[in-house]
Amino acid sequence: MKKEYQHIFEPFTVRRMTMKNRIMMTPMGTNYGESSGEMSFLHINYYEQRAKGGVGLIMVENASVDSPEGSNGTTQLRIDHDNYLPRLFKLTETVHKHGACIGIQINHAGASAQSARTNMQPVSASDIPSKAGGEIPRPLSKDEIMRIVKKYGEAAKRAQIAGFDTVEIHGGHSYLLSQFLSPITNKRTDEFGGSLENRARFARLVIEEVRRQVGPFFPIFLRISADEFMEGGNTLEDSLEYLKYLEKEVDVIDVSCGLNGSIQYQIDANHFPDGWRSYMAKAVKERFGKPCVTMGNIRDPHVAEDILARGDADLIGMGRGLIADPDWVNKVEFGDVCDIRKCISCNVGCAGNRIGVNRPIRCTVNPAVPEGDIYKALKVNKNCNVVVVGAGTAGMEAACTAAEVGCNVFVLEKNDHIGGLSTFISDLPSKTRMKDFPKYLEARAARLKNLYVFLNTEATVDKIKQFKPDIVVNATGSVPLVPPIKGLKENIDAGNVNTIFGMINNVNAGKYPEEACQSKKVVVVGGGSVGLDVIEYFAPRGAECTIIDMLPQIGMLADPITKCSMRETHDKYGVKEYVNTALQEVKENAFTVKLPDGTIQDLTFDYGFNCLGMRSNNPILPELQEAFADTHTYIYTIGDSVRARRIMEGTMEGRAILNVLESQDYLHLEPLE
């Protein structure tokens, strides 16, 4: 064991469970289950990968104790009937084979359930929705509360029978118990409302019932939103108060935070530093002397080690870090931490998919979340030369994947660094985490002796031909879209209006220090992610910001965390939003726009930004197609060169070079169940 990380690798015992190290995978809904609420085999494989990767304890995602009434999300796991036992047992058996412990989070969604899925009005403490614009729930009667208490107990017992080592009761994140705990959603006047003791009564009954069912040797975790980070919600001090009614039968307190309306604190936006929340766990631990879990953007093993060494928490919770890299723990223990594929907290593939649009989780940096990097066992059956044009993230993923299965790979990059757009964007102070992805790709590439990266090298057909390519990957990315709007191009050329590229160059050249932003009028055209990045830079630096979009909402296509974070920033700094608004003309110091009522207005600016999107950029693709027509050389276009999209699609297409290799008879891929 590396001394450097001795606290991470210290075993941890609670009642009759001993974890081999201090890393707990936090519960995260995946949408990998069957629509019946049963686990799928791919789902089991997903958890097995993390167990193999060395994690001490896996806390399986929230499972419903009472469906359909208490269900949450599409294909949520169920634990409210014995039918689910065999598959759950298969899961615990599989995970245990790799030396990991496993628990399951038991939950009732309350007002966060949706009648469209359940066919019934959601229930809660009172008739207050669990999020803005959510459904109005029906307050539970005392008899109903007691019925649900029993359901929790039965679910915990079932978990024990299925071979889990522990259960976690979900008392946070705007689900039923949290709806009772929070003064925002609990307006009751009976013994379940009013004082902190009363609001904690339901959770206390649940904990007591769970203990009755599981007996004295089985550890119980309780997850809470220690600070709800909402106006009128529980503060850390309030939580320390109510915990005194709950802690007796609880063995480990899993100290999370945030509600639906402050989800950027719960599933941390990328600007929060690693481990920023550990002060909350520390406060809980100091007050009750119970082991605590802390989590939140913890990606760096040194940060994890320091938190444990300081004694702020006893366990490090890691969620997205393990979606991005199932081998995080093993890499820290046995390998090189530079090999860790760090989560960049973009929330696109995980929260964006699962919470945003009901898709199964995916990941920007990991193109094989549930199946794992099994392709690494494959080798091409004959020589294959691959030339990759463009060392952006898509190109580098293709290059590394091809080299890992034995191709000879040559990457031609015109810049002096790899990473393309993501390296560039990560120069923004709030986007520095994004740098971790190109850094990882660079380290991965450096280990591959059959992969050669040529920087400062413009790709030409002649140069490419010298490598005798069997496959050419065209990964030349995208450039800002400049639609034919009167005055736009001219004012960009004249430097009156900037794109994100111009802006970042100016930031790097020190042209936008705080004093140059104070009280300046900043107008951004385009309310997508790039436009939001510009506002995120200028608004906190004192600029008067305005953002316009033709769509009915700013950030309409963003993931729920970005949306919530944006709302907080825009409200805090008074950012003006114009929606259903079209750009008509660009002047030297004004955007002329058409408002939804047809009025034409000039929005004057000191700094104007065109963030109307990106378009694919294919400087040599037509030449390549012509040069290699009627040859065996296969041309594979990926990422933004196909169509400007998110980094995630490029990574997926980079990895999908495996399918090209199969189609060209270099490889045989085994289908996964």
Ligand X SMILES: Cc1cc2nc3c(=O)[nH]c(=O)nc-3n(C[C@H](O)[C@H](O)[C@H](O)COP(=O)(O)O)c2cc1C
Q: Give catalytic residue positions.
A: 175
C-alpha dist (Å) from residue 568 to 539, 564, 641: 11, 6, 34
Cβ neighbors of 38 (< 8 A, separation 6 or more) are: 77, 78, 83, 84, 87
The least distance separating ligand X from the CB of residue 169, rounded to whole angstroms, comes to 10
Residue number, 111 or 350, with CB nearest to ligand X: 350
Paired strand residues for 479: 615
Rg (CA), the chain: 26
Q: Are 524 and 611 in contact (CB under 8 A)?
A: yes
Which of 162-170, 279-287, 338-346, 628-636 is the region at the interface with ligand SF4 (rule: CB under 6 A)? 338-346
Quick check: 269 binds ligand SF4 (CB under 6 A)? Answer: no
Instruction: Please state, in angstroms and rounded to a whole number, the distance separating the CA atoms of residues 588 and 594.
Output: 18
Q: Are 489 and 404 in contact (CB under 8 A)?
A: no
Which of 123-131, 362-370, 581-589, 664-672 is the region at the interface with ligand SF4 (rule: CB under 6 A)? 362-370
Instruction: Please state, in angstroms and rounded to a whole number, the distance separating the CA atoms of residues 54 and 329.
Output: 5
Quick check: 264 binds ligand SF4 (CB under 6 A)? Answer: no
Please identify which residue in 94, 297, 569, 633 interacts with ligand X, judged by CB under 6 A. Answer: 297
Cα–Cα–Cα angle for 530, 642, 666, rounded to 5 degrees: 130
Binding-site size for ligand SF4 (CB under 6 A) equals 14
Residue 444 φ then ψ, to 5°:
-65, -45
Cα–Cα–Cα angle for 492, 495, 498, rounded to 5 degrees: 60
Please identify which residue in 78, 151, 173, 439 interacts with ligand X, judged by CB under 6 A. Answer: 173
Quick check: 159 binds ligand X (CB under 6 A)? Answer: no
Quick check: 349 binds ligand SF4 (CB under 6 A)? Answer: yes
Quick check: 341 binds ligand X (CB under 6 A)? Answer: no
Paired strand residues for 292: 253
The least distance separating ligand X from the CB of residue 356, rounded to whole angstroms, comes to 9
Quick check: 22 binds ligand X (CB under 6 A)? Answer: no
Residues 24-63, one symbol each (x = binds ligand SF4 by CB under 6 A, - = not), give ----------------------------------------
Helix or strand holding residue 480 (H, E): strand 478-480
Q: Name the nearest CA neighbour of 288 among 199, 208, 224, 195.
A: 224
Instruction: Please state, in angstroms and rounded to a whole number, the distance separating the CA atoms of residues 601 and 592.
Output: 6
The least distance separating ligand X from the CB of residue 107, rounded to whole angstroms, comes to 7
Quick check: 323 binds ligand SF4 (CB under 6 A)? Answer: yes
In our burial notation (b when 16+ CB lie closer than 10 A, e otherwise), range 50-71 reads: bbbbbbbbbbbbbbbbbbbbbb
Quick check: 343 binds ligand SF4 (CB under 6 A)? Answer: yes
Residues 186-225, one symbol each (x = binds ligand X by CB under 6 A, - = not), give -------------------------------------x--
Quick check: 350 binds ligand SF4 (CB under 6 A)? Answer: yes
Quick check: 351 binds ligand X (CB under 6 A)? Answer: yes
Which of 89-97, 212-220, 258-266, 344-352 is the region at the interface with ligand SF4 (rule: CB under 6 A)? 344-352
Please identify which residue in 253, 361, 411, 535 interacts with ligand X, judged by CB under 6 A. Answer: 361
Which of 84-92, 229-237, 318-326, 593-601 is the region at the interface with ligand SF4 (rule: CB under 6 A)? 318-326
Name the residue with tokens 């120069």.
427
Q: Which two tokens stand for residue 383?
A: 């020589």
Quick check: 464 binds ligand X (CB under 6 A)? Answer: no
Amino acid identity at 515: E
Q: Are 559 and 347 in contact (CB under 8 A)?
A: yes
Binding site for ligand SF4 (CB under 6 A): 320, 323-324, 343-350, 363-365
Q: Site residues (CB under 6 A) for ligand X?
A: 26-29, 61-62, 105, 170, 173, 223, 256, 267-268, 295-298, 317-321, 350-351, 354, 361
